[in-house]
Amino acid sequence: MTGHPSGEEGDRNGTGGLGEFILFRIRQEGPVPFARFMEWCLYHPAHGYYRSERTRVGKEGDYYTAPSVHPLFGRMVARQLMQMSDLLGGDRFTVVETGAGRGGLALDILEWARSSAPAFYRRLDYRLADVSRPAVEQQKTRLARYAAEGAVSWEEGEGGTVDGCFLSNELVDAFPVHRVVLREGSLREIFVGEKDGRFCDVIGDLSQAALAGYFPAAGVELAEGQQAEVNLRAGEWIAEVGRRLRRGFALTIDYGELAAELYAPWRRSGTLRCYWRHRLADNPYARVGEQDITSHVDFSWLIRRGEAAGLACTGLVPQYRFLIGLGLLGEMEAAGRGMSEAEGLKMRLSLKRLIEPGVGMGEIFKVLVQHKGVDGPRLDGLRALRAMPAPGG
């Protein structure tokens, strides 16, 4: 990433209510860790990107998510949840979805369960947890029917223990990250400072001791001058999942890699990215509070921290393999029978984005499943594919 604005984007650096607030704090306290800057940009109570009422997902927003591409994604996730429920047994199966956005994934899961798996639907206790009040209000409107039937509720504050599954889709990539760089053989941190009324990078000592041990624990070494992101919050989050999960699973869908690939020497500038109106940028100091800021997930970190919290790794697979293992191709064929040729083509092109390796979401997105209190679970979404049919063929 550039680290210093220029051109049209740079002209907007530090302007507006949130930008002025952050500049004021930096002038008062000095340079702040990038994680704190990112926290303000995304989650400030009044001006944060995820706290606002702006449209974030879909054609009118800044990016697409898998549920917004096609409802079949949610139906495949529902199938996997039902299999997990069968493995656990019992009268109730609790799903806690964190960062549910407008509730699209929950809606697709509940619609499928209600119409196609009524026994599973009767056991289902679906809970949503979200920091965005506008998003929660949208969820309550969209899911009112299911809430009235007792299938849906909303968590506030610290929740109790759960038998079921903790579900997230594109949650972890939006946790605030620390930015670091290797300089003259030493790991240094990139802070956010101010120069002439604009944000700028400032190199300093590590703000947290945990950063020093992160890469040795992952078994990787950065190259000289290489920048990277460290998502300490992700470790805290999965540890909390492990604390709350009594028996069941954690199902995490996001884009990222294992540590060896994520921090490979060719990633000289890290993976920090910004999204605004479906345009990709690398300048987090532009459009403060108006653009999404993300970074790729280190799945090795989630696995290690999960194991420390009692979560065994069930498996990690690319999204295309997860969806095909659960029968997506058969569902595509069945859905296409009642469509016109034009409608069928549109559906296939949409779903191709979810499953084609090497492009779209099919391979860059991963599905991590972890389990606790279950002996050697075998899940359809993790099964090996002997021969993958050509998507859309």
19-64 per-position pLDDT tens digit? 999 999 999 999 999 999 999 999 988 888 887 666 545 555 444 5
For position 362, what pLDDT does the model report? 52
Residues 220 and 252 in one domain: no
Residues 131 and 23 in one domain: no
Residues 169 and 179 in one domain: no
Q: Nearest-5° angle of CA 372, CA 376, CA 382?
A: 95
Residues 78 and 117 in one domain: yes
Residues 311 and 169 in one domain: yes
Residues 242 and 110 in one domain: yes
Residue 388 resides in a domain = no
Q: What is d(CA 389, CA 158) in angstroms, rounded to the nearest whole number?
A: 44
145-149, 181-185, 229-233, 333-337: which has the minimum mean pLDDT?
Answer: 333-337
Residue 267 resides in a domain = no
Q: Are strands 152-154 and 162-169 parallel, antiparallel or unpaired?
A: unpaired
Question: Where residue 356 falls among pLDDT bands split at 50, 70, 90?
Answer: low
Residues 47 and 131 in one domain: no
- Mapping DSSP onto H, E and C, the string for 151-197 reads CEEECCCCCCCEEEEEEEECCHHHCCCEEEEEECCEEEEEEEEEECC
Residues 167 and 224 in one domain: no
Domain that holds residue 303: 66-173+236-259+297-381
Residues 290 and 253 in one domain: no
85-89, 219-223, 337-341: which has the minimum mean pLDDT?
Answer: 337-341
For position 244, what pLDDT does the model report? 97
Half-sphere exposure of 235 (CA within 13 A, CB side): 15
Residue 386 resides in a domain = no
**Given a cut of 90, is residue 184 above it in pLDDT?**
yes
Question: Where residue 134 falls among pLDDT bands split at 50, 70, 90?
Answer: confident
Instruction: Name residues whose C-beta falls within 8 Å of residue 366's C-beta, 6 or more positions apart in sequence.
Output: 253, 254, 255, 256, 257, 297, 299, 316, 317, 318, 319
Instruction: Name residues whose C-beta falls within 8 Å of residue 160's C-beta, 6 or more positions apart in sequence.
Output: 244
| pTM for this model (two decimals) | 0.87
Residue 389 resides in a domain = no
Residue 24 resides in a domain = yes
Indicate which CATH number applies to the domain containing 81: 3.40.50.12710
Return the number of other C-beta atoms located less than 10 Å from residue 118's C-beta. 9
Residues 75 and 35 in one domain: no
Which residue type sits at 266? W
Residues 308 and 355 in one domain: yes
Residue 1 resides in a domain = no
> Residue 3: helix, strand or coil by DSSP?
coil
Average pLDDT over residues 98-123: 95
**Given a cut of 60, is residue 13 above it in pLDDT?**
no
What is the average pLDDT value for the chain, to the nearest integer? Answer: 86
Q: What is d(CA 70, CA 343) in angstroms, rounded to the nearest whole number?
A: 13
29-38, 150-159, 255-264, 384-393: which has the minimum mean pLDDT?
Answer: 384-393
Residue 370 resides in a domain = yes
Domain count, the chain: 2
Residues 79 and 128 in one domain: yes
Residue 390 resides in a domain = no
